[in-house]
Structure 1
Amino acid sequence: MYINLLKVGDLFSNILYRMLNPEVWNFQAPASVFQSHKVERDICLKKIRQFNFVHSVTVILPDILSVPDSFGLNLTNCDYYRVNSLTIDELVKPDFLKNFLNCGNVNLLSVNTSIDCDDCIAITTCGKLILHLNKLTFQTLGLEGKVSHFHKLSKGKYIVSIDLKSDSLKPGKAFYERVKNCLQKLKADVILQWEPPNEDICPSSISKYFFDLGYNVKLCKIKKDSETIFDVKVPVVENFDKLNQYETAKFVEWLGMVMINGSMEEQSSYISTYATPEPSIDVGQIKILRWRGFFNVSKVIHMLQEVESKYCKGQFFKAIYFQGFSDSPVVWGLNEHHFYTNGDNGGIVIMKKDEFFLCCQKCSNKYYK
C-alpha cells in the first residue's frame, strides 16, 4: 500500500498547530442570566430584599432638570468602615452578637480578595457568616462545609455557612467553642456597616467597638455624582405587559448607554453606532444620579420609595439600577456567586405610575472544568 508521507506530515503538522494555537474565538463564553418581568409592587420589594452587598446605585429620571439637595440623602449619608486584619472569631464573640448582629442589621464583606482564587468572607443581612475558602484553608480550618458548585470537579474551593443567629451558637456550648477556636485561624481586611434598630442609636457605634479592641478602623465615605444630559431621545414605554425579553434587553442596553453618556449619534456610515429603540420621543433632558460605596439593600428600597412618591406621576418612566460587588461570595439570597468571565450581578427597577418592571442580572451557573 502506497502512503503519501508528505500528506501524512501535513496532517500531523496541522493537528499540532491546532493544539498549540486553539481557535479561542470559537469558545462560547458562559451566558449571563437575564430575567425580566412585570411584577406587583410588593413582589418587587420582596425580590430586591434578597439582594446582598450593594456597591452602587444609579437613578435615571427622564424629563427632570434638577432635584433638591435632600434627594437621596439616605444614600449619601450611608457611611461604612474598613477594618484591617480582622480576626474572624471576633464576629462570634458574645458582645458583637448581642449588640450588633442580633440588634439591627450587619453587612460585612472582605476586600482586596478575588472570589476565584482567594479566601472571601461575608456576613449577610439575614445573619449568615459565609466563608468561601481555598482547599488548603478549608482543610486547615476544620469546620464542616461543602465543595463549591463552580469547583465541583477540581474541588479547589469550599463553602462554609454559619448561622450567627442560631441557638447552638451560644457561649458554653461545644459547637460555639469549636467554631470560635477554628475562626481564630482566619484574618481578613473587611468593610462593614451596621443599621441600628432605631434612629436614636448612631451607626458608627460598630466602628468604635472594633477600635476599642485595638483594630485599625477607617471611615469610608459614599461617592456621589450627578449629571444632566440634554436633547435625548427616550423610548416610549406604554404598557409593561407588552415588553418581551428582546425588547427589554434593548431597553436596558439603552439605559446603560445613557448612564455612561454614550454617543448615539451617527458619525459615519462606516462606523457602528447605537440607536434608541423605537418608538421614541425627544425630551429636553435626563437627570442621572449615582452613589458608589457599600449599602444595605434597605437603602435601595428607600430610594425606590422616594422616586415613586416624588417622580412617578408623569408620562415618562423612571429607573433605578443597583449593582453588587464582583467578588462577593453570595448575591441573590444565599445562592453562590462566582467570577468566570465576569462577576455581573445587579438589578434594574423601571417604574411608571403604579406599574413596576424588574430586571435581574446574574452570573452563569456553569461550573469550571
Structure 2
Amino acid sequence: MSADLDRTPRSLLVSERSSFQDERNRVSSQVEQHHLNYKVSVLLPECGSAPPHLDSVLKSFSSFYLIRNLPVYELLDNDFLQSAVYQGSVYGLSYRTRIDEDNCVALTPKGRLTLSLDKDSFEMLGVEGKASRFNHRAKSRFIVSVDLTDSCMAPGGRGYQRLLTGLRSRLQLKTDFLLSHHPGGGASLQALLSRYDWSEHTPETTHHTLTHLSCPALLTSDLLSCDPHSVLEWLGAVDAQVSRENSSSSFLSSLVCPEPMTTVGRALSVSVCGLLLPQDIHRLIQQIRCYLEQPHLESWASLTVHGFVDSPVSWGTNEHGVLRGGDTFYSLLMFHDHTYYLHLATGSHDTCPP
C-alpha cells in the first residue's frame, strides 16, 4: 500500500461573513468567477415543497448541448467566434475526460480557451504553454491558455494561425464537448452544431422531502460556535442522503449533526445537475432571498454549488488539478436578515480561491 494513502488529502477552505446589503459583498463576483458548474443543491428547513416562484427558477435553468467527437480546432472557427465568443459568454468543457490522465479542454467567458495536455500532445501541438503547477511527475502535464478575443488571436493573425495549424494538422485533438451560451443560447451555436452529431439537454432537477431532520441550530446568523467544516460535512451528508444517526449498529457512517442542534419537522432538499450557468445560479440566490423574507419557523437556507472535478480551471482562469479529491465548490448559508456565510473550498491540487 502506498505510504500516502493513509493521509487525508490537503484541502483549502476560505470563509467570510457579510451581508447582501453591504456594497462590498463578494457573492456576485464569486458566482461569476466559478464558470463551470455541474450541480447546485438547496436545503430549505420547514418547507415541504418549493414555493411556485422558486420552483419556476429551478425549472428554467438554461439548456446545454453535448457535441460528439468535436475537433477542438472548430472552437477557432471564424463564424463561431463572431456569433458566440465575441457576443456573450460561452461555457464549454470536454466531456468524460480525466484531468490527471487525458487531454482536457475548457472554454470560459471572455473567450479564454484552456488546454490541459500530456507532454507528448503538448510537444506535438507546438504552441507556447507552461508546465502544470500540479505535476506529480516531473513536467508530465502542460497548460496552454489563450485569449481568443486578443488582437493577436484574430483570425488570420500569427498566433491564431499557429494554434489552428497545431490543432488541425499536428495534434488533431477531438473530444465530446459540453457547450452553452448566454444570452444567445442555441441560435448562436447553430452553425457549429449543424456540422456534428449533437443533442440538447435540460438540467435534471430532483426533490426530496425530509422529515424529523436533525440540523444545526442556525436560527440566527451567529455561527461562531459551529465549526464550518462540520456544517459543510453535514450539508453534504443531507444532500447525499447519508445517515447521520451514528448508531452503534452502523458501520457505514459515523457522521453526526454538529452541536448545538435542533430538529425540524420537515425540510426540502433540491438539486439541479448539468452544465449550469452562473446567471441561473444568480437568479436562484435572489429567489431564495425573497423566500427568506417571508415568516418561517426556520429563517435560513443553504445553497451549495459544485464545479466539475475534471475541469482544467476552477475559479476564473486558475488552474485546477486532480490527483486525490478534486473538490471545487462554494456553499452559501443565507439568513432572513440578509446576512450570509460564504465558504469556498478546493482540493489539494488547486490554488487558494480568490
> Normalising by structure 2, what TM-score?
0.88
Cα distance, 1:91–1:75 mapped onto 2, change above 3 Å: farther
Matched, 1:220 2:201: yes
More displaced 10-residue stretch of structure 1: 291-300 or 320-329: 291-300
Of 232, 249, 252, 2:232 maps to: 252
Partner amino acid for 2:149?
A: K
Matched, 1:345 2:324: no
* Kept in 1: contact 2:45–2:264 (CA 8 A): yes
* Kept in 1: contact 2:320–2:350 (CA 8 A): no
Q: Which secondary structure state, in structure 2, belongs to the residue aligned with residue 331 of structure 1?
A: coil
More displaced 10-residue stretch of structure 1: 270-279 or 342-351: 270-279
Aligned to 1:336: 319
Distance in 2, Cα, partners of 1:270 & 1:346: 29
Structure 1 position 205, deviation (Å) = 1.5
Distance in 1, Cα, partners of 2:94 & 2:134: 20
Matched, 1:211 2:211: no
Cα distance, 1:146–1:299 mapped onto 2, change above 3 Å: same
Structure 1 position 195, deviation (Å) = 1.0
Cα distance, 1:22–1:226 mapped onto 2, change above 3 Å: closer
Aligned to 1:38: 17
Unpaired runs of 5+ residues, structure 1, are 1-20
Q: Which secondary structure state, in structure 2, belongs to the residue aligned with residue 306 of structure 1?
A: helix
Aligned to 1:101: 85
Of 295, 305, 309, 1:326 maps to: 309
What pairs with 1:1-369 in structure 2 (closer than 5 Å)? Answer: 27-41=6-20, 42-77=25-60, 78-151=62-135, 154-184=138-168, 185-196=172-183, 203-212=185-194, 214-238=195-219, 240=221, 242-243=223-224, 247-265=227-245, 267-268=247-248, 273-313=254-294, 314=296, 315-353=298-336, 354-365=338-349
* Kept in 1: contact 2:35–2:314 (CA 8 A): yes
Structure 1 position 81, deviation (Å) = 0.6
* Kept in 1: contact 2:11–2:347 (CA 8 A): yes
Q: Which secondary structure state, in structure 2, belongs to the residue aligned with residue 150 of structure 1?
A: coil
Distance in 1, Cα, partners of 2:307 & 2:235: 18
Cα distance, 1:254–1:323 mapped onto 2, change above 3 Å: same
Cα distance, 1:182–1:251 mapped onto 2, change above 3 Å: same
- Cα deviation digits, residues 151-193 of structure 1 (max 9, x gap): 1751110000010111222123222222222221322210101
* Kept in 1: contact 2:78–2:155 (CA 8 A): yes
- Cα deviation digits, residues 134-164 of structure 1 (max 9, x gap): 1111111111000001117511100000101
Distance in 1, Cα, partners of 2:242 & 2:270: 16
Cα distance, 1:300–1:210 mapped onto 2, change above 3 Å: same
Q: Which secondary structure state, in structure 2, belongs to the residue aligned with residue 168 of structure 1?
A: helix
Partner amino acid for 1:32?
A: S
Q: CA RMSD in A?
A: 2.3
Distance in 2, Cα, partners of 1:266 & 1:159: 44
Unpaired runs of 5+ residues, structure 2, are none
Distance in 2, Cα, partners of 1:161 & 1:242: 40
Q: Which secondary structure state, in structure 2, belongs to the residue aligned with residue 151 of structure 1?
A: coil
Cα distance, 1:101–1:306 mapped onto 2, change above 3 Å: same
Distance in 2, Cα, partners of 1:124 & 1:266: 43
Paired residues in the alignment total 339
Distance in 2, Cα, partners of 1:254 & 1:331: 24
Structure 1 position 264, deviation (Å) = 2.9
Cα distance, 1:319–1:163 mapped onto 2, change above 3 Å: same
Partner amino acid for 1:261?
A: Q
Cα distance, 1:312–1:348 mapped onto 2, change above 3 Å: farther
Percent sequence identity over aligned pairs: 28
Cα distance, 1:101–1:24 mapped onto 2, change above 3 Å: closer
Partner amino acid for 1:319?
A: S
Cα distance, 1:35–1:55 mapped onto 2, change above 3 Å: same
- Cα deviation digits, residues 285-307 of structure 1 (max 9, x gap): 11111111111122111111110
Partner amino acid for 2:176?
A: D
Distance in 2, Cα, partners of 1:364 & 1:24: 13
* Kept in 1: contact 2:219–2:300 (CA 8 A): no
